Structure 1
């Protein structure tokens, strides 16, 4: 039995709770995955995977065994990749996870330049706001906003952008006329139509700083959505106020399609004024040339 291969199969089945999904990753039939794991169980004399007609899960001993082998397999993979990269040109797949909005608008143009410089590297880019667990997820580099990184993960600060309340010039003029003032108050915002973003963890609240503490604004959303571009389209159609990081709307501010709404106190989508962006990676993997060069390239162009 090829024990290393069997361990890799078991690891992914334990993480995905599926023989079929693991088989798709390894491009082998599900029966091959199941057979090798059965061989591993026979060698160990214990049941690692609980199989039913409805689901697949690890047994109690299987969970213990999984936690014991994850780090060892990772070290083998890193060692293999490190040696192969040292011997030849930088090539192979580089798996990057990024928050969707920042990834599309800021990161992707930089990655295009990176690909031009290193054409033998295949970028596998995934847009997600989910928390990354490097020991489980198939990720080499992650870009996250405001996340506290897990232990043994390096977090390098990329940027800090303030939240900005925007509207079309037409909508702003209409609101200023309605409230009889150029600078709106928080009460005016609460009475105005707003566009609210809903992330994986729920709806993003709006906050204001009263000089002593942050207070939640009781906004009046006419549209809630988990897609930033849809909310942006609604804002451009004069439908409501939009609260986004500056980098998301900077092009529209430059063109004049959107303008910053003057408010008599700071408004933010978090209980602080700025949104911090980090690049995350494992220190051990930073030794692999393609990962090191990509991290350094991102920092050089975005920090």
Structure 2
């Protein structure tokens, strides 16, 4: 048995959903694909696929085997690409994960430039504020802010975003304008950002002349996604602390008013994070260089 060919045939059946479609895409007879997978199942001693007259389904063992071998096939493709045409003209599949506001305001508006430069790279963009597991979720890289905690990954800093604490004019007319961070704990409503990982409210941070203050206020409304958190502040539900690039247009139009301008938190670092891999694909390499370039050019208000 050619085990690598059998693995490729198995993966193609899983992805195509039928032996016939898999055989057509591999330009093999249907009987050859069937024999390869039977040999693979015999070699492993497990059933990978359940086949009926109408459909093919993946067994639990098959799903686990597909996930593990899929990474190997991808890495093998990356190795081959580093010696072939992919080195000159990057191509293939790139899976990226990014937070909501970063995606909608920074990454997606810039993506047409990347697509023009690298039209043969197919991008799958996952958008959420949850922290994905790059290995188990089969993600090539993530764009994330804050302190890097997973030392098993590689992080390249690509920028730093400034903060703004703000509220709507109507809210401030009703509740007054705070002059010190401690004022937020008395007579004010705060829209807290809830950690997508822990569900806990993230405190607001302030800094002035070397003094640092952390304010944790019980909220009437808490939100665990960055775009929705910002929308809650824009709706007048309370004071929010958000990235300045988020609020720039509404601050300029007067829909939001910056408060406590002398109390500025530390800029928030942003990183592109990816697994350590001796055989980094050229498509990932060009994306990392491109996103670093775009973030350097972006007005993050840091």
CA distance in 1, matches of 2:6, 2:74: 14
Alpha carbons of structure 1 residues 213 and 150: separation in structure 2 relative to 1, 3 Å: same
Normalised to the residue count of structure 1, the TM-score between the two structures is 0.70
Alpha carbons of structure 1 residues 302 and 194: separation in structure 2 relative to 1, 3 Å: same
SS at match of 2:148: coil
Count of equivalent residues: 275
Instruction: Judge conservation of contact 1:99–1:127 (CA < 8 Å) in 2.
Output: yes
CA distance in 2, matches of 1:252, 1:215: 26
Match status 1:206 vs 2:206: no
Instruction: Judge conservation of contact 1:166–1:258 (CA < 8 Å) in 2.
Output: yes
Tell me the alpha carbon deviations over residues 126-160 of structure 1, each in whole angstroms, 9 at most, x when there is no partner. 21334344433332232112252645532111122
Question: How far is the alpha carbon of 1:102 from its aligned partner?
Answer: 0.7
Alpha carbons of structure 1 residues 253 and 23: separation in structure 2 relative to 1, 3 Å: farther
Alpha carbons of structure 1 residues 238 and 84: separation in structure 2 relative to 1, 3 Å: same
Q: Which aligned runs of 4 or more in structure 1 are off by greater than 6 angstroms?
A: 30-38, 65-71, 210-213
Alpha carbons of structure 1 residues 23 and 217: separation in structure 2 relative to 1, 3 Å: farther
Instruction: Judge conservation of contact 1:144–1:279 (CA < 8 Å) in 2.
Output: yes
- Structure 2 residue runs of 5 or longer lacking an equivalent are 23-32, 51-57, 297-302
The aligned residue for residue 159 of structure 1 is: 159
The aligned residue for residue 18 of structure 1 is: none
SS at match of 2:113: helix
Tell me the alpha carbon deviations over residues 174-222 of structure 1, each in whole angstroms, 9 at most, x when there is no partner. 322xxxx65144244443122223342113322456988764523332x
Match status 1:256 vs 2:254: yes
Tell me the alpha carbon deviations over residues 26-47 of structure 1, each in whole angstroms, 9 at most, x when there is no partner. 2233999999776434214x44
1:244 to 242, 252, 255: 242
The aligned residue for residue 183 of structure 1 is: 179
Alpha carbons of structure 1 residues 67 and 117: separation in structure 2 relative to 1, 3 Å: closer
Match status 1:296 vs 2:289: yes
Normalised to the residue count of structure 2, the TM-score between the two structures is 0.71
Match status 1:195 vs 2:195: no
Instruction: Judge conservation of contact 1:285–1:291 (CA < 8 Å) in 2.
Output: no
- Structure 1 residue runs of 5 or longer lacking an equivalent are 13-21
The aligned residue for residue 216 of structure 2 is: 217
Question: How far is the alpha carbon of 1:289 from its aligned partner?
Answer: 2.8
Instruction: Judge conservation of contact 1:153–1:283 (CA < 8 Å) in 2.
Output: yes
CA distance in 1, matches of 2:227, 2:275: 32
Alpha carbons of structure 1 residues 285 and 126: separation in structure 2 relative to 1, 3 Å: farther
CA distance in 1, matches of 2:19, 2:102: 37
